[in-house]
Amino acid sequence: MISLAGRDILHSWSKFVLTGIGLGLLIGVTLTMAGVYRGMVDDARALLNNSGADLWVVQQDTQGPYAESSSLRDDAVRSVLGQPGVARAANVTYLTMQVRRTSEGGAAPAGSGDDDVRAMVVGFEPGQPGEPAYLLAGRHITRSHYEAVADVRTGFTLGERIRIRRHDYTVVGLTRRMVSSGGDPMVFIPLKDAQETQFLKDNDAIVNDRARTAANPSLNRPGVPGLLEAIQASQANNRNVNAILVQVWPGTDAEAVAEPVRRWKHLEAFTREQMEEILVAKLIATSAKQISMFLVILAIVSAAIVAFIIYTMTLGKIREIAVLKLIGTRNRTIAGMILQQALGLGLIGFVVGKVAATFWAPIFPKYVLLEPGDAVRGLVAVVVICALASTLAIRIALKVDPAAAIGG
């Protein structure tokens, strides 16, 4: 018994293969769009995972370091460490900024857009929560100043000098999947440097501020030597951080630790679930919905196109089907042929799409997460759509008049 479907495919194989590849690329786009959406949500989760915290302590009445700006004194961590149930706690700062790569000769010329990278600069205390959990290459920070660990997405390499505000940092380690909720790669630097980066103004502003203070007669009194210097010194430093990352002892309820912090320390504390809620449901909600809307439309359009392709392909063979009917082929054989072809096309399309999506996903500037679950759902959808589309085509095929083979 010969396979009618196989014979037909062999007959017009180029058409079949090209249609399959075209279909595959379309499915690939849909899978990628799903990946973009998943990647977006995963970026937000990665941010929480990487911080390694069970509890975020932030400024009172603010929603954390990620969704809102928060600022608290860097000695607040000591009183948090004294709370029952707290295993480890550490200060952390976050600042999204452009990080410049310095050439050997000095700073990169201003305005050369290629040499700066948008990154989230994280100030952390080595060995404490907030540290990158794993490295791809190099080592962790050992000096208390001017060393950095960067996400590979920044494009920095080991030993490279990068410039953050006025200081040059040496990249000593590379890590991966350390991103902000917006998908910007992270650059980890020691906390003290980060505090300075975040709160220290540029030199011109400092000089201007000094002049302004000196011009204020109540701050620069003639009879009080040293007053001006003292005021200027107090203006130049800032000992604030954005959040305290807290790890609780295993088996301790994070909410039970958070409650006294909120009540008695006059700070806000978020548990992991609350933080995820803030990030996923509030921070990226609109953009994620935007993408998911697009994904839904793309999925519907793809399904329609797949259905139409299968349908028109069958219509294109109406003459041959009429001949088959004329020579007395059974309806089941004809239906089977159409179904087999449709499913084959769908399978080829899916495989091509999956492979294509996997290969082009890393080229995307932001993270594209191709979840196996999505792939399976996609496969089921493709098979179902192909089957549905082919039933439409089968109805047409079975209704065709054998006389059409001879006529028109």
Partner 1 sequence: MKTSSIGTRRFALIGLGVLLVAAMTYVVMRSGPLAPTRVTVVQATEGQLTPQLFGIGTVEARRSYLIGPTTTGRVRAVAVDVGDTVKAGQPLAEMDPVDLDERAAALDASVARAGSAIAAAEAQRRDALARRELAAVNARRYVELGRQNFISTGAVEARQQEQASADALVTAADANLAAARQDQQRLAAERAGLRQQRANARLLAPADGVVSSRDAEPGSTVVVGQAVLRVIEPSSLWVKVRLDQARSGGLVVGLPAQIVLRSNPGRPLPGKVVRVEAISDSVTEERVAQIGFDQVPAGLSVGELAEVTLSLPPTAKAVLLPNAAIKRRQAQTGSWVIDAGTLRFVPVRIGQASLDGQVQVLDGVKPGVTVVVHSEKELGERSRITVVDALEWRRP
Is there a contact between 3 and 335 (Cβ–Cβ < 8 Å)? no
Segment (H or E) for 379: helix 372-399
Minimum CB separation of residue 26 from partner 1 in Å reads 16
Least separation in angstroms between CB 6 and partner 1: 8
Q: Between 344 and 402, whose beta carbon lies closer to partner 1?
A: 344
Question: Residue with structure tokens 């970026």?
Answer: 43
Q: Rounded to 5 degrees, what are φ and ψ at 385?
A: -65, -45
Residue 223 C-beta: closest distance to partner 1, Å: 6
**What is the rounded radius of gyration, in angstroms, for the C-alpha atoms of the chain?**
31
User: 148: which strand partners?
Assistant: 171
Cβ proximity to partner 1: between 209 and 371 the closer is 371
Cα of 299 vs its chain's centroid, Å? 21
Indicate the residue among 215 and 286 with the shorter CB distance to partner 1.
Answer: 215
DSSP-assigned letter for residue 277: I
Closest among 242, 26, 30, 29 to 130, alpha carbons compared: 242
Which one, 172 or 257, has the nearer CB to partner 1? 172
**Residue 155 Cβ, how far from partner 1 at the closest point, in Å?**
4
- We find the least distance from the C-beta atom of residue 54 to partner 1, in angstroms, to be 10
Cβ atoms 195, 240 nearer than 8 A: yes
Q: Whose Cβ is closer to partner 1: residue 153's or residue 325's?
A: 153
**Residue 255 one-letter amino acid:** E
Residues that bind partner 1 (CB under 8 A): 9-10, 13, 17, 49, 52, 75, 87-88, 127, 131, 133-140, 142-146, 152-153, 155, 172-174, 176-177, 192, 222-223, 225, 239, 247, 249-250, 348, 351-352, 354-355, 358-359, 362-363, 370, 372, 375
Distance in Å, CB of 351 to partner 1, minimum: 5
Q: Residue 168 or 276: which CB sits closer to partner 1?
A: 168
Helices (H) and strands (E) in the chain, counts: 13, 12
- Distance, CA of 56 to CA of 156 (rounded, Å): 30
